[in-house]
Amino acid sequence: MFRDLSVPAISMGLLAAFVGYSASFAIVLAGLTAMGATSEQATTGLFFATIGMGICSIWLPAATRIPAAVAWSTPGAAFLAATATLPGGFGEAIGAMISCAGLIVLTGFIPALGRIVAAIPKPIANGLLAGVLLKLCLAPAIAIGTIPLLVLPVLVAWLIGLTWNRLAAMPFAVVAFLAVLSFAVDMSDSALQSDIVSLPAFVPTVPIFSMQSFFSIALPLYLVTMAGQNIPGFAVLELNGYPVERQPLIRKTGFVSLAFAPFGSIPVNMSAITAAMMAGEDAGRDPATRYWAAITSGIVYVFLAFAAALVTSLAGLAPLPLITAVAGLALVPALVGSISAAFSEHTQLEAPAMTFLIAASGMTLFGVIPTA
């Protein structure tokens, strides 16, 4: 195994971990906060979500010898960020995340469930995803109208990175975000200094299970995780010539998600973007050795988990519109991709359009799918 280790694989794994984390940590925090999490609960959720990514990114590639990249459910976090707090607060949200993880585990044992999700027409699935993402993607424009001096430098950095390389857009934006914070807020806070490397408080939250949370949170979270992450992630690996046994991979990510969901962790799943990075020639000339890129990314995620308290503290210092603006910028490529896919078939435009409009409207039907 160690004979397959190579410099290209290590360097690509480091890059993939940095891109994956910097592009979406703000979305995860926004989703947990929207669900009613306190700062301590959000820190705990971020820690375990990152640890979950790390464990799976080490475990799955080591077991399969393929670059099986794992990420947290970014579309799922975006869905949570656009959803109103449940009546039972964060405890009810945790109950929904446990139920979602249970559905993923069940899918790993019952292939028919995966086939049902895969059978959802792609325009409809992408119309739903685009509607979920729309509100958060509007946040940068809204923030420009309220805090232009803070948001414009981040937006300019994002555009510069986008012009140079799409993968550089969010790292550039995060660097600009940190620079803006250093000028706009007091970074000498003693609590912030103590959070540089520390464990979260592991605040316990009693899960609350309800039919409303199952249908309004757990089921949609399961669908966007499967359709928006797992299925594209498998497709990327298969397009790069890697044999994929889907059910064992779904089971393993499902079990890790189920183990960490009681701590407020969103589900982990197969990744498409970082998998594309680590399955290509940039991760090594020999396809059989590229799995080390995924293992490297997993090791980095484990270390990044211990920065959860610092990341949450920094996010707490920033104005909320700035945080949501950063999260919105990270989701713009996903919004563009989902809208393009939703309306790619010119013979079926009305159904995905209606799906998109309903998902984006924020409507509530019989208390189900309440959106902010």
Once rounded to an integer, what is the mean pLDDT over residues 358-370?
59
Once rounded to an integer, what is the mean pLDDT over residues 12-16?
86
> Would the pLDDT of 365 be above 80?
no
The domain ranges of the chain are: 2-361
Give the pLDDT confidence of 241-278 residue by residue, as tens digits.
898 888 999 999 999 999 999 999 999 999 877 888 88
- DSSP character string of 31-66: HHHHTT--HHHHHHHHHHHHHHHHHHHHHHHHHHSS
pLDDT of residue 54: 95
> Would the pLDDT of 203 be above 80?
no
To 5 degrees, how large is the angle CA 266–CA 214–CA 355? 85
Give the pLDDT confidence of 96-123 residue by residue, as tens digits.
999 999 999 999 999 888 888 777 777 8
Confidence of residue 194 (pLDDT cuts 50, 70, 90): low
How many Cα atoms occupy the beta-carbon half-sphere of 13 within 13 Å? 29
Average pLDDT over all residues of the chain = 85
- 42-56, 175-189, 199-213, 223-237 — which is least confidently predicted? 175-189
Q: Of 130-139, 221-230, 314-323, 350-359, which one has max mean pLDDT?
A: 221-230
> Would the pLDDT of 170 be above 50?
yes
Which of 356 and 247 is assigned the larger pLDDT? 247
> Would the pLDDT of 27 be above 80?
yes
- DSSP character string of 254-299: HHHHHHHGGGTPPPEEE-SHHHHHHSSGGG-S-GGGTHHHHHHHHH
Distance separating alpha carbons of residues 186 and 191, to the nearest angstrom:
12
Confidence of residue 371 (pLDDT cuts 50, 70, 90): very low
- 20-29, 62-71, 92-101 — which is least confidently predicted? 20-29
Tokens standing for 361? Answer: 């409207």
- 2-6, 192-196, 202-206, 341-345 — which is least confidently predicted? 192-196
